[in-house]
């Protein structure tokens, strides 16, 4: 079974008979008809109200809830989520925005309680090192989910400050929710990898995690369906005028890379010569000897680019760009000159998630003119060269390994004039990833293995994810 099918099977099991689900759904709708006045204050139509132009917002509260939930994949869960006691508020109006914010907030609470349950799996059980590693990955993924859901809330609260930017905010929220949902699937994938390699572990551990994570995945799925429904309503009732043109957008707006036309897609931020903030050099001619040391000293959550020039040389280190390191730029001296190399792999005890030579979590990361390599051979199975969980761009980079070379995990990613080398599923993940003018080099696999270039991991029809290869060249090499 391939990675995508296995992941979908893991998180989308249904055990209730259709008849039972129908009874539950009807009961919940009836309950909501009674509870809606308590859940939301009635909407007061006024020409001066900021939402008054949107006819979808003059519906009674119970109809707004019904419309929001019946457009989801898990309507009964949607209704039960909204039937929970609402948070106290003195100024709440019935709107789809409020329904979505309420659902995301309830999902955040669910994630927080699930983290405590996952932490409890570490105690009182005889776990081996690989199981502990997989559970640690789950903890990291749940923390990332909290971060992305909170960012989605922040974006949602920007409505409707500017009608012209609504389409961008809808896109941002869908991207964040898509990433948050991907995280839960990644947790289960870690245990699926153990099973596929005939690893003698505890199957009940995976089953427990599935029971904990499936409700979160379904709640996020409902949020995705709601934002899509909101987007559809907005399209029907609003003609967006004076959309911001690309040349009027701020130069530091990282979204330029994702909304440019294909023919104009260029990474303007990294094509200009910029003086580096620090220099890394193995020969001692720079401020730092290692790349990770330079990253560690970069400012946290910077609103400006922090440029790290990496001089020619081979750097044997596993580098992590953590969440708080935003706007980091790596500038090498050429693919064949600046080389980052590591050898972590699945056979030697690392999970796929933690095997990467370069891991990027910090947002708005850019790299150019360097090589990222995992030197573990094909016999070591999963050995990631680059994992990216952020909005990131790569220009003239060589990314090379065998199995699972490039883990385009989540969010938005752009690769221009890069070379990606590998054998099995060597471009995989669930990001919205664009590869333009790249060379895809297919290497010789192990005996009995079949080459597979991409393995896209979308789990939900409302996720805005996918892999796009634009004007790329496929070659076969050693």
Note if 348 is an active site residue: no
Q: How many CB atoms lie within 10 A of CB 305?
A: 16
Other C-beta atoms lying within 10 Å of the C-beta of residue 227: 26
Question: What is the Cα–Cα distance from 333 to 292, expressed in whole angstroms?
Answer: 18
**Residue 218: CB partners within 8 Å, gap ≥ 6?**
73, 74, 77
Structure tokens at 407: 């883990």
Residues 260-295 as b or e (16 or more Cβ within 10 Å = b)? beeeebebebbeeeeebbbbbbbeeebbbeebeebb
Token reading at 414: 């752009």
Tell me which of 189, 193, 404, 425 is the catalytic residue: 425
Contacts 24+ apart (CB under 8 A), 422-425: 422/453, 423/378, 423/449, 423/451, 424/449, 424/450, 424/451, 424/452, 425/3, 425/452, 425/454, 425/455
CA distance 421 to 429: 16
Contacting residues for 207 by C-beta, under 8 A, at least 6 apart: none
Give backbone dihedrals phi and psi of 15, rounded to 5 degrees, phi first: -115, -15
Question: And the tokens for 314?
Answer: 């081979």
DSSP 42: P
Element (H, E) at 163: none
The residues that bridge with 441 in the sheet, in sequence order, are 421, 475
Active site residues: 425
């Amino acid at each position: 079974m391939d990675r995508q099918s296995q992941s979908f099977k893991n998180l989308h099991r249904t055990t209730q008979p259709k008849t039972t689900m129908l009874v539950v759904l009807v009961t919940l709708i009836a309950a909501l008809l009674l509870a809606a006045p308590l859940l939301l204050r009635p909407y007061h139509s006024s020409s001066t109200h900021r939402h008054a132009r949107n006819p979808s917002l003059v519906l009674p509260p119970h109809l707004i809830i019904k419309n929001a939930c019946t457009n989801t994949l898990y309507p009964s869960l949607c209704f039960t989520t909204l039937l929970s006691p609402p948070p106290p508020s003195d100024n709440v109006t019935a709107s789809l925005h409020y329904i979505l914010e309420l659902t995301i907030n309830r999902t955040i609470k669910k994630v927080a309680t699930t983290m405590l349950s996952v932490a409890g799996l570490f105690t009182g059980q005889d776990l081996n090192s690989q199981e502990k590693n997989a559970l640690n990955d789950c903890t990291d993924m749940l923390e990332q989910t909290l971060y992305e859901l909170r960012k989605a809330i922040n974006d949602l609260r920007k409505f409707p400050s500017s009608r012209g930017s609504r389409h961008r905010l809808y896109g941002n929220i869908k991207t964040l929710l898509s990433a948050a949902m991907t995280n839960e699937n990644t947790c289960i994938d870690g245990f699926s990898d153990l099973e596929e390699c005939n690893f003698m572990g505890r199957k009940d551990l995976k089953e427990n995690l599935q029971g904990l994570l499936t409700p979160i995945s379904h709640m996020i799925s409902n949020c995705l369906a709601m934002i899509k429904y909101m987007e559809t309503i907005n399209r029907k009732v609003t003609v967006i005028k004076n959309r911001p043109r690309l040349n009027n957008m701020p130069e530091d707006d990282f979204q330029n890379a994702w909304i440019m036309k294909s023919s104009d897609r260029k990474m303007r931020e990294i094509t200009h010569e910029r003086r580096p903030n620090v220099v890394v050099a193995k020969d001692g001619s720079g401020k730092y000897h290692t790349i990770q040391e330079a990253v560690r000293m970069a400012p946290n959550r910077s609103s400006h680019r922090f440029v790290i020039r990496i001089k020619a040389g081979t750097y044997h280190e596993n580098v992590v760009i953590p969440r708080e390191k935003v706007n980091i730029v790596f500038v090498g001296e050429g693919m064949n000159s600046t080389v980052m190399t590591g050898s972590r792999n699945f056979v030697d005890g690392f999970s796929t998630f933690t095997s990467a030579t370069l891991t990027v979590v910090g947002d708005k990361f850019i790299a150019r003119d360097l090589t990222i390599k995992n030197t573990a051979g094909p016999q070591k199975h999963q050995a990631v060269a680059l994992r990216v969980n952020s909005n990131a761009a790569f220009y003239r980079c060589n990314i090379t390994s065998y199995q699972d070379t490039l883990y385009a995990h989540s969010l938005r990613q752009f690769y221009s004039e890069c070379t990606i080398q590998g054998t099995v599923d060597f471009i995989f993940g669930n990001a919205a990833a664009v590869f333009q003018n790249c060379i895809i080099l297919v290497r010789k696999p192990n005996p009995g293995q079949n080459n597979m270039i991409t393995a896209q991991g979308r789990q939900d029809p409302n996720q805005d994810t996918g892999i796009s290869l634009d004007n790329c060249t496929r070659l076969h090499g050693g």
